[in-house]
Amino acid sequence: MKIAYLINTYPRGSQTFIRREILALERSGWDVHRFALRSDRAALVEPADLAEDARTEHILGLGAGKLALSALGWIARNPKGALRAFVMALRCGAKGAGGTPGTGGRLRHMIYLAEAAHLARRCHDLRLPHLHAHFGTNSATVAMLSAMMGGAGYSFTVHGPEEFDAPRALCLGQKADNALFTVAISSFGRSQLCRWASTQTWPRLHVVHCGIEPWRYPDPAPMPAGGPHLVAIGRLSEQKGFALLIEAVARAVQTLPDLHLTLVGDGELRPQVEAAIARHDLSRHVTLTGWLDEARVRDALSAAQALVLPSFAEGLPVVIMEAMAAGRPVIATAIAGVPELVTPDTGWLVPAGDVEALAHGICAMAATPLDRLAEMGHAARQRVLKRHDIDREAEKLTVLFASKGNP
């Protein structure tokens, strides 16, 4: 059983959930050919990611000249399909005019058209009957255009929040309508697809969760005493709300003088976060580690009593799954798919953007006895292992690939 996967940039340290999904499919008997538009090799540190990079066919690595020749050759063999794809590329490019993030306008879509023609040719040459893309942005655009010009039929997984920020500009509805099926990683994500896809497409919209590998999470470390100790993990970007978290910590330390937050991650807003730490004189209370590898992230979770995630926009964060698998309760904002996983017996949900509510959530966790925190951590672990075992989620994909999404 052969299948192709397409991702914009693969592998990436922040997208290990895709690697886990591919490896789970391979364990179940699928032969997965990895395509990516570009490589991020210079930023990779995990041996598993470096191995994935070596196994991935990076389309733009071919070079502009060879890519153009390959694309023109396929277009000459499939002129009617190429014309349909050209019209769709113009249409989607017009919707994305003006620099809407992830769209690029008509000129960018002509590049997508060339990538799609080459991809169609490669799927034909390798006898790959189906193409699955991750993210409803440019990778799904290339997959759709490729199918229109005679390439493999396609499906794609929508994660959010980027796709839901500009669904019209990204032609998200058209992509779902033309796909054999579309996957969302949460019921919330599926509901957003229902907004933009035609009602006839709804039966082909499915939920398959991102997953974790349970064997990487043995019995949790004991709940540490003292503190309270919190950990936050994620990219320092506008979506994650970490500057607001620093404001909440500043309020919480007024009644919790031993509060400590370990903030794991890096990104474009690091100067802003550092400035907030300095402004509130929190250097004793906040440790900013930068990026850590998977093993050290697990160590950071073990040293904490709870994960805190103050996001403004999300899909369904894998870091919540990892924290719960490590036996730690979660303080998170009640957005997107998060309430589908974090329940009152596994953590605290607070309104997004409300610094007072976030500080109150931190204080509520701090007031919870350690034995109760351990019980909540156990409940969290059981819930995530039941709902997000990657092999079980891969089985759902196997059924969809075999049936091409027919309900």
Which tens digits make up the pLDDT trace of 195-239? 999 999 999 999 999 999 999 998 999 999 999 999 999 999 999
Burial (CB < 10 A; 0-12, 13-18, 19+), residue 370, is middle
Question: What's the pLDDT score for residue 229?
Answer: 98
The conformation of residue 78, written as its DSSP 8-state character, comes to -
CATH code at position 180 = 3.40.50.2000
3-state secondary structure 93-119: HHHCCCCCCCCCHHHHHHHHHHHHHHH
Say yes or no: 307 and 353 in one domain: yes
| Bridge partners of residue 34, in order along the sequence | 5, 56
Residue whose tokens read 């049936």:
403
CA distance 156 to 183: 6
Say yes or no: 382 and 395 in one domain: no
Q: Is the pTM of this model over 0.75?
A: yes
Contact yes or no for 163/184 (Cβ under 8 A): no
Stretch 252-266: mean pLDDT, rounded? 97
Amino acid at 370: L
Question: What's the pLDDT score for residue 368?
Answer: 98
Question: What's the pLDDT score for residue 101?
Answer: 47
Say yes or no: 174 and 265 in one domain: no
Say yes or no: 9 and 98 in one domain: yes
Three-state DSSP at 84 gives helix
Say yes or no: 188 and 224 in one domain: no
Q: Which two tokens stand for residue 371?
A: 């034995």
For residue 406, name the pLDDT band (cuts at 50, 70, 90). low
Q: Which two tokens stand for residue 125?
A: 């040459």
Question: What's the pLDDT score for residue 100?
Answer: 53
CA distance 37 to 91: 22
Q: Which residues contact 395 (CB under 8 A, 6 or more apart)?
A: 28
Contact yes or no for 139/123 (Cβ under 8 A): no
Sign (positive or negative) of CA dihedral 347, 328, 192, 160 = positive
Stretch 97-108: mean pLDDT, rounded? 65
For residue 103, name the pLDDT band (cuts at 50, 70, 90). low
Stretch 280-287: mean pLDDT, rounded? 97
Say yes or no: 202 and 234 in one domain: no
Say yes or no: 352 and 269 in one domain: yes
Q: Which domain holds residue 276?
A: 218-387
Say yes or no: 67 and 171 in one domain: yes
CA distance 245 to 262: 12
Say yes or no: 372 and 233 in one domain: yes
Q: How many domains does the chain have?
A: 2
For residue 405, name the pLDDT band (cuts at 50, 70, 90). low
Q: Which residues of 193-223 are buried (b: 16+ CB within 10 A; e: fewer)?
A: bbebbeeebeebbbbbbbbbebeebeebbeb
Contact yes or no for 313/290 (Cβ under 8 A): no
Say yes or no: 383 and 396 in one domain: no
Stretch 377-381: mean pLDDT, rounded? 98
Statement: residue 149 has pLDDT above 80: yes
For residue 374, name the pLDDT band (cuts at 50, 70, 90). very high
Stretch 128-153: mean pLDDT, rounded? 97
Statement: residue 259 has pLDDT above 90: yes
Stretch 167-195: mean pLDDT, rounded? 97
The conformation of residue 319, written as its DSSP 8-state character, comes to H
Stretch 349-375: mean pLDDT, rounded? 98
Stretch 361-370: mean pLDDT, rounded? 98
Return the H-helix or E-strand segment holding 350.
Answer: strand 347-350
Say yes or no: 300 and 193 in one domain: no
| Averaged pLDDT score across all residues of the chain | 95
**7-56 pLDDT, tens digit each:** 999 999 888 999 999 999 999 999 999 999 999 999 998 899 999 999 99
Q: Determine how many CB atoms are found less than 10 A away from the CB of residue 40.
A: 18
Sign (positive or negative) of CA dihedral 253, 255, 259, 265 = negative
Three-state DSSP at 8 gives strand
Statement: residue 407 has pLDDT above 60: no
Say yes or no: 94 and 136 in one domain: yes
